[in-house]
């Protein structure tokens, strides 16, 4: 784990462990939500990270399970940095460029969706999100005539 999520002037080598698993949880879908309630040692808000999938040993027909996690922003920076370093080290610059292009594609698509949800006034509370902005449990409608 890095000592800080902020860029350092001097690059410090990281501590790696040799990771193996007999039956890893195979993730097929994920969701995230920025949340000020999720904090690490730093002050930046972290994320809920929801993983959908099943253990690799289970057969295809079985229902997906859901694992709810929270991650500090520093943990996510650590994870993304490790993934990018391994792609660059093992597969080269073109593979990293392709990965980063995919990240940018998903960033743009997610941003468009977030802006749509905001324009529909569905981003303040769960009731608004699920009713297309008609109902609120956050008090938004109470302040409007």
Q: Which residues bind Zn ion (CB under 5 A)?
A: 124-125, 128, 136, 138, 140
**Looking at beta carbons only, is 39 or 140 nearer to Zn ion?**
140
**Looking at beta carbons only, is 50 or 125 nearer to Zn ion?**
125
Q: How many of the other CB atoms lie within 10 Å of CB of 38?
A: 19
Nearest to 80 by CA among 118, 121, 32, 142: 32
In the numeric block, the tokens 């027909």 are attached to 61
Q: What's the maximum distance between 2 C-alpha atoms anywhere in the chain?
A: 61
**Looking at beta carbons only, is 73 or 122 nearer to Zn ion?**
122
Nearest to 75 by CA among 41, 34, 116: 41
Written as six digits, the tokens of 36 are 């000020």
Q: How far is the CB of 145 from Zn ion (least distance, A)?
A: 17
Written as six digits, the tokens of 95 are 């593979």
Q: How far is the CB of 33 from Zn ion (least distance, A)?
A: 15
Q: How far is the CB of 36 from Zn ion (least distance, A)?
A: 17
Cβ atoms 66, 73 nearer than 8 A? no
**Looking at beta carbons only, is 54 or 140 nearer to Zn ion?**
140
Q: How far is the CB of 143 from Zn ion (least distance, A)?
A: 11
């Amino acid at each position: 784990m890095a000592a800080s999520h902020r860029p350092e002037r001097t690059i410090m080598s990281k501590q790696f462990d040799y990771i193996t698993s007999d039956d890893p949880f195979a993730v097929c879908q994920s969701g995230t939500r920025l949340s000020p309630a999720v904090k690490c040692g730093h002050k930046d808000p972290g994320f809920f990270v929801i993983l959908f999938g099943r253990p690799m040993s289970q057969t295809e027909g079985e229902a997906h399970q859901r694992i709810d996690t929270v991650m500090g922003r520093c943990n996510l920076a650590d994870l993304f940095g490790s993934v990018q370093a391994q792609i660059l080290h093992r597969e080269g610059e073109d593979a990293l460029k392709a990965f980063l292009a995919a990240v940018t594609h998903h960033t743009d698509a997610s941003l468009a969706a977030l802006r749509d949800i905001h324009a529909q006034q569905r981003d303040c509370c769960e009731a608004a999100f699920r009713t297309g902005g008609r109902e609120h449990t956050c008090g938004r409608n109470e302040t409007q005539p």
